[in-house]
Amino acid sequence: MAKPKIAVFKFSSCAGCQLSILNLEEHLLDILGAVDLTYFVMAKRENFAGPYDVSLVEGAVSTPRELEELKEIRKGSKTLVALGSCACFGGVPSIKNYIGTQREVEEQVYTELWDIQSIAAYGIDHYVKVDAYLRGCCIDLGELVELLQSVLLGVTPPFKTHSVCGECKLKENSCLLVTGKQACMGSVTAAGCKALCPSLNRACEGCRGPSDDCNAESLAKVFHEELGLTKDDVVRKFRKYAGNTPQFQKGAKFYERA
Residue 29 has pLDDT above 70, yes or no: no
Q: Say how many CA atoms lie within 13 Å of 208 toward its Cβ.
A: 29
Per-residue pLDDT tens digits for 240-250 = 999 999 999 99
Q: Is the pLDDT of residue 211 over 70?
A: yes
Which tens digits make up the pLDDT trace of 158-173?
A: 787 899 999 999 999 9
At 122, is the pLDDT very low, low, confident or very high (cuts 50, 70, 90)?
very high
Q: Is it the case that residue 258 has pLDDT exceeding 60?
A: no
Structural domains present in the chain: 5-153 (3.40.50.700), 164-256 (no CATH)
* 171-183: average pLDDT: 94
Q: Are the CB atoms for 67 and 21 separated by under 8 Å?
A: no
Identify the residue with better confidence: 147 or 234: 234
- Residue pLDDT, tens place only, 41-73: 998 899 999 899 999 999 999 999 999 999 999
pLDDT > 90 fraction of the chain, expressed in percent and rounded = 70
pLDDT at 167: 95
pTM, 2 dp: 0.90
| Mean pLDDT, residues 8-28 | 86
For residues 214-230, give the mean pLDDT: 95
